Structure 1
């Protein structure tokens, strides 16, 4: 979701050195982006902290896209001239504070990030044509060869991609629903490729033989290659949905606690939404938060998803109409 902003900054100001700070698990992805000059990882250790201070010493500006406290201290100690972000509890370490506005809970996240970027730096990426197009780096030849080997069991057949787990337990579809869906897909002759990191929550799965299980077997660039060449992604609100958006791979997204208007990609074949009344509780700001025992994803049935799968194929596998939700209409 941050890729349109990074590309936009570099397009408007090509001579600017653009450094991104984040976690180790995004390193391969960020280093593959041609518009990112440097990617620095941070893990809260003293060694990591001093490394960042030296690397970022007296930089011109930092736009803090998160609300983390510790990293904002690092930027202050690095004497970065302008430090802009949401105040949260770290206001002391910022030179300029951003302000949450009511429309932001009803907008696609990159729209909010672009607004904050303009407020923080004066850089307006929305002036660029197709500014919101997601970017995902192409796989290297070695990654493509590995993917080819991993997908050999499919013997060249088309496939659907899914990842069982998302970044939050309230967004996860129950594993019994996944198994039911895979068996229904088998009945109509469809193969499935599972991607994602290894998980303690989704183990000992009784997968049907139309499923190729690549969980824990791919890197980020290989994941992109797999999604790029898929005919459909069926997934909860998570990383694969947005990778699919970057490659124009059609998506059937599953939404419960996460509101589809904020998180669904600009092009989506179908956002299948839980029928519970309290759905969409996890808004971007001032969220009531997930309930103690979320049930919204459990109420989203495999039979409902299969209705849209069959419709997708009967309609000729369309990508879906373009719609950018700005929250300001």
Structure 2
């Protein structure tokens, strides 16, 4: 028999290790659980970088697992939680590593994805499964866990903490004038191919300056690839309109920069979902990934969507014929995005009433 779901859980475990965008999309589910059961403890097992992004999230205890530590790290985490028994474990990471990690956790019931959405045989490691939800956005898939537990209020809430110091440092970097924030690179992964061209970004940056007086802040990590793309973009733009902050801010600093920006432009990557979480307008650039599944949830109408074109061009199929979530892994896919399309979306966003920041700086250190 399947174990029953708890009617009034006292201790909930969320298992989701990565990635930055995904953990941002998961926060509304955590907030929904907190509204339903305000007295419940929530322990979130999370990756190291992801924890630094969400540090200070109210009402959540983080337990960090660094995947680089392998089995030794798993054993250390199991020892740390040896005396803890959860009323329910929400297994939200579809990876064999996470499923193995879950085996060392004590829980009355383990909840995972339905068979159609489960990857790496995740459904073998769980006892209760979500109801089918074909073609769901990632954020909606996370909310399905709350739905299964009987949560009534699924309204979207983030309230991400940003330290006052991070906001102060961001303002020192950018000044008081409004700015466009461009995060040109996605994470470095094998056959990722999500990055747009330096020439395209430069054309949009110069348009934003000439038509709206918006200078641009470039952000990203400190990898060689990101620095090189940033240098190429700067070389194509008037020097005085671009501030290069690539590799210069921690994740809380990146949140502060995004929160203060007039608009964010980025490919499918963490910053589009951070902007979405903070209520900052965002234009996502999508060709290798389906934005209906992984676009910035509240700003999908402003995405530059070349995914259907990429599917037809490089996979010679129709999008409806593909498994949900299939990526187009071709190095030329993002070249289908034209600068005039991005500028059109930029103009559409800037024509909207200006939105007040979604959160005020917190005192979190």
TM-score over 0.5 (shorter chain) = yes
Find the counterpart in structure 1 of residue 102 from structure 2: 75
Separation in structure 2 between the aligned mates of residue 227 and residue 73 of structure 1, nearest angstrom: 36
Find the counterpart in structure 1 of residue 73 from structure 2: 48
Separation in structure 2 between the aligned mates of residue 27 and residue 282 of structure 1, nearest angstrom: 36
Which of 158, 183, 194 lines up with 1:163 in the alignment?
A: 183
Contact kept in structure 2, 1:254 and 1:272, CA below 8 Å: yes
Find the counterpart in structure 2 of residue 142 from structure 1: 165
Find the counterpart in structure 2 of residue 289 from structure 1: 327
Structure having the higher helix fraction is 2
The CA RMSD measured in Å over matched residues stands at 2.9
Find the counterpart in structure 1 of residue 341 from structure 2: 304
Find the counterpart in structure 2 of residue 111 from structure 1: 140
Find the counterpart in structure 2 of residue 180 from structure 1: 203
Separation in structure 2 between the aligned mates of residue 247 and residue 239 of structure 1, nearest angstrom: 12
Contact kept in structure 1, 2:65 and 2:74, CA below 8 Å: no
Which of 224, 233, 254 lines up with 1:223 in the alignment?
A: 254
Following superposition, the deviation at residue 25 of structure 1 comes to 0.6
Find the counterpart in structure 1 of residue 39 from structure 2: 15
Q: Deviations over 1:50-83 (max 9, x none)?
A: 2211233333321111112133223223343322
- 1:54/1:30 Cα in 2 relative to 1: closer, same or farther (>3 Å)? farther
Q: 3-state SS of the aligned residue for 2:30?
A: helix
- 1:26/1:284 Cα in 2 relative to 1: closer, same or farther (>3 Å)? farther
Which of 277, 296, 302 lines up with 1:270 in the alignment?
A: 302
Find the counterpart in structure 2 of residue 85 from structure 1: 112
Following superposition, the deviation at residue 198 of structure 1 comes to 1.9
Separation in structure 1 between the aligned mates of residue 221 and residue 88 of structure 2, nearest angstrom: 34
Q: 3-state SS of the aligned residue for 2:44?
A: strand
Separation in structure 2 between the aligned mates of residue 317 and residue 214 of structure 1, nearest angstrom: 28
Separation in structure 1 between the aligned mates of residue 109 and residue 93 of structure 2, nearest angstrom: 16
Following superposition, the deviation at residue 212 of structure 1 comes to 0.8
Contact kept in structure 2, 1:250 and 1:269, CA below 8 Å: no
Q: 3-state SS of the aligned residue for 2:216?
A: strand
1:212 aligns with 2:243: yes
Following superposition, the deviation at residue 104 of structure 1 comes to 2.8
Separation in structure 2 between the aligned mates of residue 198 and residue 284 of structure 1, nearest angstrom: 35
How many equivalent pairs are there?
Answer: 306
Q: 3-state SS of the aligned residue for 1:297?
A: helix
Separation in structure 2 between the aligned mates of residue 318 and residue 148 of structure 1, nearest angstrom: 19
Following superposition, the deviation at residue 303 of structure 1 comes to 1.9
Separation in structure 2 between the aligned mates of residue 296 and residue 282 of structure 1, nearest angstrom: 18
- 1:100/1:297 Cα in 2 relative to 1: closer, same or farther (>3 Å)? farther
Separation in structure 2 between the aligned mates of residue 283 and residue 29 of structure 1, nearest angstrom: 37
Separation in structure 2 between the aligned mates of residue 40 and residue 282 of structure 1, nearest angstrom: 38
Most deviating of 207-216 and 10-19: 10-19
Contact kept in structure 2, 1:9 and 1:123, CA below 8 Å: no
- 1:264/1:71 Cα in 2 relative to 1: closer, same or farther (>3 Å)? closer
The 5-angstrom pairing of residues 26-41 of structure 1 reads 26-41=50-65
Following superposition, the deviation at residue 179 of structure 1 comes to 2.3
The structure 1 segments of at least 4 consecutive aligned residues displaced by more than 6 Å after TM superposition are: none
Following superposition, the deviation at residue 214 of structure 1 comes to 0.8
Separation in structure 1 between the aligned mates of residue 342 and residue 122 of structure 2, nearest angstrom: 45
Find the counterpart in structure 2 of residue 324 from structure 1: none
Find the counterpart in structure 2 of residue 64 from structure 1: 91
